[in-house]
Copies of this chain bind each other. A is one copy, B any other.
Amino acid sequence: MVENKLGRQIPEPYASQYGVYTGEFTHIKHYQRAAAKVQPVKPRQPKLMQSIHDAIVATGLKDGMTISFHHHFREGDYVMNMVMAEIAKMGIKNLSLAPSSISNVHAPLIDYIKSGVVTNITSSGLRDKLGAAISNGIMANPVVIRSHGGRARAIASGDIHIDVAFLGAPSADEYGNINGVNGKATCGSLGYAKIDAKYADKVVAITDTLVPYPNTPIAIPQTDVDYVVQVDAIGDPKGIAKGAARFTKDPKELLIAQYAAQVITASDYFKPGFSFQTGSGGSSLAVTRYLKQAMEKQNVHASFALGGITSAMVSLMRAGLVDNLLDVQDFDHPSAESLAEDPHHYEIDAEMYASPLSKGSVINQLDVAVLSALEVDTKYNVNVITGSDGVIRGASGGHSDTAAACKMSLVIAPLIRGRIPTIVDDVNTVVTPGASVDVVVTEVGIAINPKRQDLMAMFKDLNVPQFTIQELRDKAYAVTGTPAKIHYGDRPVALIEYRDGTLIDVVNHV
């Protein structure tokens, strides 16, 4: 075992293989960008394949390779299950699966793990049945959990080498020009898929909307695509928009949002040209709404809003309060539509969004980020991956990326959920280190990380109750009692990579 800087125990040989977390920016070094092996396409050589089977054969996919998918279709995705079924039928085994994330709909993966088709997984997160099965130990090798920026880094630096990327394409032409804004199942930005297309040796575009050449706008160009396959349906539009939050009426969520908006607007960052990322979820949408009110009232407009784009952000741009939306993925249908229509709504890839090894990601320019949490501990460490039962059910997302890079990070969470405290002595699993977290916002008040003495001074007269993080924990425990320790087994089922590639924590089986 090697103890990392946060006191987390990292077992060998993983500690040696990945290195262990030593700080937010201690592993940012020169590197040689990875690159694809390219099979050039000559004039008159077609890319259109008759079936997914034919495309898989054409790619030369074989045992032991790494394949990838994007998660822009979320709970509406048909592509991963469709391709995996064909791969399983073809008898290919021992694959590494490297999607940008995995949703509930991908529960069939459990069978492919059991049958040896899939023997390694890296993902932003795991949900539901698959998360539970993996936490229960069905895989011999631990899953590697990577942040969105961390995944882009891993691909760009060669830590993940994708042999074949399968890309669900809302629209494509026969030569592989793709966008996410036209078609039967539109998802808007293809920000995560762009990276796979750029770095994978072989890229297969799977579409249900084949359009005449050239398909514009071009989110992913023909020069990044080897084969095109037409299928009946790549996704369920309802599932793609599923989870798109509506404006909350929950008084607790509204209070959290109001406090968060007060923190933001009282800060020195809130001035003309400021920038923010508020994300999805009930409270986050409400923060965006409250921000809108303050921006209108004080005539402060933002240079850009980032991320995960929601209709609430779009409405700010439409109101002239935000100059640009920089969009790595869309959380709802109105956002996807806005990307199609508004030239100031701009599609960016995951590397530009958040990679710590890029020549400067957008998060480096970000003033304020509002992030959620399953747990926050008294060291300000945040868990967004494991539940209170120790089971993997969340996703790393852009949490640790944004928190590390922005000028002020707010972690918003209710003090307790049901009978479970959110503010605790030690989070089950660290995804984001406390060093990256500036203000914790709950419905009873806020706690400012003592390392940010400047913020303490800035918010001296703020009309929001302020506590130490220990006081917030005490308030939570006063309701729930001190939570019992989770009884983990001794076998690692997930390695939690920090965005720089080192291990910040490990999840054992339950």
Of B25, B45, B217, B303, which one neighbours A213 at CB under 8 angstroms? B303
Q: How far is the CB of A420 from chain B (nearest CB, A)?
A: 34
B43 touches A38 (CB 8 A): no
A368 at the interface (CB under 8 A from B): no
A114 at the interface (CB under 8 A from B): no
Chain B residues with CB below 8 A from A361, complex form: 222-223
A360 touches B38 (CB 8 A): no
Q: Restricting to A300-354, which residues have a CB under 8 Å from any CB of B?
A: 303-304, 324, 326, 343-344, 346, 348, 351-352
One digit per residue, 1 when the CB lies within 8 angstroms of any chain B CB and 0 when it does not, for chain A 197-230 equals 0000001000000001110111001111110000
Chain B residues with CB below 8 A from A406, complex form: 43
Chain B residues with CB below 8 A from A273, complex form: 212
Of B31, B216, B351, which one neighbours A346 at CB under 8 angstroms? B216
Known: A223-B351, A324-B214, A352-B222. A175 touches B358 (CB 8 A): no
Q: Restricting to A127-178, which residues have a CB under 8 Å from any CB of B?
A: 156, 175-176
> Once bound together, how far apart are the Cα atoms of A44 and B38, in whole Å?
36
Known: A221-B352, A343-B217. A41 touches B303 (CB 8 A): no
A28 at the interface (CB under 8 A from B): yes
A359 touches B38 (CB 8 A): yes
A37 at the interface (CB under 8 A from B): yes
B38 touches A212 (CB 8 A): no
B35 touches A360 (CB 8 A): no
> Once bound together, how far apart are the Cα atoms of A214 and B344, in whole Å?
10
A214 touches B303 (CB 8 A): yes
Of B175, B216, B346, B404, which one neighbours A343 at CB under 8 angstroms? B216
- Leading 8 A-B pairs by shortest Cβ distance: A41-B360, A33-B35, A35-B35, A43-B364, A43-B405, A40-B357, A223-B358, A223-B352
Further 6 A-B residue pairs, CB within 8 A, beyond A29-B40, A40-B357, A40-B358: A30-B37, A43-B406, A176-B360, A216-B324, A221-B348, A223-B361
